[in-house]
Structure 1
């Protein structure tokens, strides 16, 4: 205890002490002049030193084991190589699956086209078109209807590596596909039991593939390399930054096939039509794309009635995203090289993160019309 009595008051919100002293007749007049009811207000510094013995003692140093944090920061995200979206690091180690998909009227609606990362539309016999659909970031259980291989398919599919599935084809075209490093799975020679004909469609438009099971059986096949440059957002894509507003993209492959894409601002996507009618998926929803690429391509007549899209070379292109389109040049150096896209100044084009449809429109007979 202090020799003098101590009590506490709060001054400017801080608790301090005042000292109560007995009145002494011998005290100097100047001291009496500041006494108030026996209370003397002393400077704060003096008060602290006067009652220092009452101050709390610091705790003794602890001898317990130091605490170690177990917090682990999340791994840096990765980019889906065929979609450009952000995914957890190491989450997409499966191979890509490329499948020849039928586009005959009897084959529509196709199974799982809406879940493909990239879809190519190519000219085949009779002015019809077929698809090469590539799944990687979202491999569905079933895809189809599956159709036969064509001579340009090895050049389209080889850059993705992984697996290719088709129903069959002329042996010379199968040999071209087998000459690549892509693992082939063909319905005509299937010993896996993963292909089957569906009862709800007419042959030959009814071959269905168990896609996820096929990928699981080839889990050691490496994942694909990134094919295009991407922006993290639609607003940052080259088309949105440098392009002109375009409401519709209409292409003609032949008198039998004229696909179109209409920009849907509310849904922030392009909606697909074929021959003037909405192109629907198996759920009844209209097929949509984040990016639409139109590539003008030469057609090689080496195989007679089977048109061959020339994929190794270069040509004119248009790249659309976010309701805008930018003029471009496409090029492909060799069979295993990806398609490169540059603008009119030679700058690499960035697609928007999302799925992509690529229209391989013949330069000798097809047309491309962009509607503002």
Structure 2
């Protein structure tokens, strides 16, 4: 196969903003869920009627997205391809919530990315007039949307991550910044001798309580609201899953120090993150780092950079466990 011309590749990269908007629109119109639930073919006209879209604009949009693998078109009839199926609300690892959240919270702020490169200030903070998480958490619906979207993304990407993973000893596990509690539930649901705490900001607590109840763990797991920069509950093991990458070094060290202070010497710390590899090969962490650059003060880090963070907080790395996912588990102990 002849490799594409560099100009063709660059045109695809430059037009990426249009594609992401097109994907957002068909997700927002619920076209992908409609096709999924139909269990077969629907016509463009049927989809337009069900979604409230105009027939011809929808036809043109679907034609473009079909060329990118989201749909299959046979004349006027449309069927869902595996890529498109990931945006059905009913998909087992649905990315619907992420598609809506990213485009409604990240897309516009990224227009200020040049500002970040010139000043060091996150584009989101400049565009929104305040830090991104402050903006998210001032609105309960927005906070819930963000929490649900991140849970769906990480749950899909971390499938199989804890398979055969031996959780270190310790009765009480605290998931710091645990969002909807899905990570903690996955870790201890089959370990009846373990108890858990999902710790996150007060607006997030209801989502965690719902997960705990749905999994039948009300007696073993509680959801607690608070600010991990101030203090965290006492526990034997602290889990920080996809948390430290949201913050700059000083803030990340403060979070780790909160855990070290509450847990005391000998407490275990499990950090679940996507570690940036050396070299120029593609890796999820490098793409996510672009999101961090534009939206937050945080960053994706190398193993050496995580070791420096932990040492600064009085915590030592024991080992790094590779998983069949893009994530690794850094096991550490409070000195």
The bucket for the TM-score relative to the shorter chain is under 0.3
Specify which structure has the higher proportion of helix: 2
Q: Whose Rg is larger?
A: 1
* TM-score when normalising by structure 2: 0.25
* TM-score when normalising by structure 1: 0.23
**Taking CA–CA contacts closer than 8 Å with sequence separation of 6 or more, which of the two structures ends up with the larger relative contact order?**
1
